[in-house]
Amino acid sequence: MHENIRKSDKEVYDILLKEEKRKEDTLEMIPSENHTSPAVLEALSSVFNDKYAEGYPKKRYYGGNEHIDEVEILCQERAKKIFAVPFANVQPYSGSPANQAVYFATLNPGEKVLGMHLSAGGHLTHGWKVNFSGKYYDSVFYGVNERTSRIDYEEVGKIAKKERPKLIFAGTTSYPRFLDFKKFREIADSVGAYLCTDVSHISGLIVSGTHPSPAEHAHIITTTTHKTLRGPRGALIMTTRAGIEKDEDLPEKIDKAVFPGLQGGPHEHQIAAIAICLKEAMSPVFKKYGEQIVENSKALAEGLRERGFSLISGGTDNHLLVVDMRSKDISGKETQELLESAGIVVNKNAIPFDPEPPFNPSGIRLGTPAVTTRGMREREMKEIAEMIAEVVEKKDEKTAVEVGEKVKKLCHKFPLRK
Ligand code: DSN
């Protein structure tokens, strides 16, 4: 493996082998990460990398793009089919630029956007004040209900009526419950706003039928392609039929916002890899994978609850859990560090209404997409819940290292390279 890298750059080769070993030997439980297929990784290192292709298929600024056009059109067609939408731009480099392009297409600087507050589970690009979206646009927020930790749609409606945003983002990074896209659309319609659903975290669940689709409700859909969708790093921006009914120029505005508004040459190796991941996601095997992600998430939730952990909103409908570590008298940061010593990779995370600062928040976020890719099921989730409990209850490095041996054994039963 990697013979060319080994011959040409031993330093990078050695680091790469260490990263491969780290992945092989640890449980990846960050909900936004996954293990991509060899086909996706091969496409990323293919000759598609070499080509400049500013513009769009059949309208490029450089020659020699006949095959690049073929692969980009194939990717667009697959995206439209799998998400049941009439238009897709497959060029965004990643999720943040995809959302930035949505702002360019729908708002003028200074106009108002309503998004979910970061501390309640939203994303930086949904209006956070230190992000471009909060600096160059007038951002206001909705959160979750303090008692239930769930979105209170009536409250979101009231905020929308008071603030009258021109764009509403419905999308989350650490919200364990279904999103009600129909209700979001009613709210958007009540103030004449565009509704953009950023489904980056859940797009793999949507295409496998385990989370309701936004296709009938949103005007615009954005998603990264490397989370539950299990593809390369990258993103898609799609407009729905409703989006085009609201604004027939929306597809053109989005294309122009991506190029030349925001980006230069598209990463065609990334686009080829997205095309491959979309084909993989159309298979019955992927449907089962999506179902198993959610089954595993529920099993992990049950295992943790049985061991006395407090879960934000009481449980999960999707691929992730947010755990309030105050239930075990330990901070999110300390939990992350101890679990990492045991080979369980998680991220510290704010909980709704967190009294602690973001660098040392009260919670952690756990997700099942990557361990499900390894083939693990409910039984292993119960085992993982036990191991997490052992580490955080004992709170010492020695236990963490001992549990680390069990983690390694479990990982080796479910190898990444089969
Ligand atoms: N960084 C991503 C996540 O971990 O959820 C969001 O962009």
pLDDT, average across residues 34-44: 98
Look at residue 346 and tell me whether its pLDDT is greater than 80. yes
Q: Confidence band (pLDDT; 50, 70, 90) for 368?
A: very high
| Ligand 1 atom index nearest CA of 173 | 5
pLDDT, average across residues 43-48: 98
By annotation, the residues acting in catalysis are 52, 54, 198, 224, 227, 233
Q: Transcribe 90-125 into DSSP letters.
A: ---SSHHHHHHHHHHHH--TT-EEEEE-GGGT--GG
Ligand 1 pocket: which of 33, 172, 173 to mutate (most atoms within 8 A of CB): 173
What residue owns the CA closest to ligand 1's atom 6?
A: 173
Helices and strands per DSSP (H, E), number in the chain = 17, 15
What spacing in Å lies between the alpha carbon of 127 and ligand 1's midpoint?
A: 15
Asked if omega into 415 is within 30° of 0 (cis), the reply is no
Query: Three-class SS of residue 418?
Result: coil
Q: Show the tokens assigned to 414.
A: 């479910």
pLDDT, average across residues 50-60: 98
What ranges in 307-396 are assigned the alpha helix state H?
Answer: 332-341, 369-373, 378-394
Beta-carbon contacts of 185 under 8 Å, excluding residues fewer than 6 positions away, are 195, 217, 218, 242
Q: Confidence band (pLDDT; 50, 70, 90) for 277?
A: very high
Name the residue ranges covered by the structural domains of the chain. 42-281, 284-413
Please give the mean pLDDT across all residues of the chain: 98
What spacing in Å lies between the alpha carbon of 70 and ligand 1's midpoint?
A: 31
What residue owns the CA closest to ligand 1's atom 4?
A: 32
* Among 175, 179, 183, residue whose Cα is nearest residue 155: 183
pLDDT, average across residues 260-268: 98
Q: Confidence band (pLDDT; 50, 70, 90) for 86?
A: very high
What spacing in Å lies between the alpha carbon of 173 and ligand 1's midpoint?
A: 6
Q: Confidence band (pLDDT; 50, 70, 90) for 291?
A: very high
What residue owns the CA closest to ligand 1's atom 1?
A: 32
Q: Confidence band (pLDDT; 50, 70, 90) for 417?
A: confident
What spacing in Å lies between the alpha carbon of 341 and ligand 1's midpoint?
A: 22
Q: By percentage, how much of the chain surpasses pLDDT 70? A: 100
| CATH number assigned to the domain with residue range 42-281, chosen from the 4 options 3.40.640.10, 3.90.1310.10, 3.40.47.10, 3.40.50.150 | 3.40.640.10
DSSP 48: G
What spacing in Å lies between the alpha carbon of 228 and ligand 1's midpoint?
A: 12
For residue 180, the model assigns a pLDDT of 98
Look at residue 64 and tell me whether its pLDDT is greater than 80. yes
Task: Specify the CATH architecture of the domain 284-413.
Answer: Alpha-Beta Complex (3.90)
CA gyration radius for the chain?
A: 22
What would the pLDDT profile of 144-166 be if each residue is shown by its tens digit?
Answer: 999 999 999 999 999 999 999 99
| Ligand 1 atom index nearest CA of 201 | 5
Look at residue 58 and tell me whether its pLDDT is greater than 80. yes
Q: Show the tokens assigned to 415.
A: 């190898």
What residue owns the CA closest to ligand 1's atom 5?
A: 173
What ranges in 107-179 are assigned the alpha helix state H?
Answer: 132-135, 153-163
Query: Three-class SS of residue 275?
Result: helix
pLDDT, average across residues 383-407: 97
What spacing in Å lies between the alpha carbon of 28 and ligand 1's midpoint?
A: 14
For residue 212, the model assigns a pLDDT of 98
For residue 134, the model assigns a pLDDT of 98
For residue 347, the model assigns a pLDDT of 97
Beta-carbon contacts of 117 under 8 Å, excluding residues fewer than 6 positions away, are 141, 142, 143
pLDDT, average across residues 102-124: 97
What residue owns the CA closest to ligand 1's atom 2?
A: 32
| Residues at CB less than 6 angstroms from ligand 1 | 32, 95, 123, 173
Look at residue 418 and tell me whether its pLDDT is greater than 90. no
pLDDT, average across residues 11-39: 98
Ligand 1 pocket: which of 126, 202, 227 to mutate (most atoms within 8 A of CB): 227
Q: Transcribe 164-177 into DSSP letters.
A: --SEEEEE-SS--S
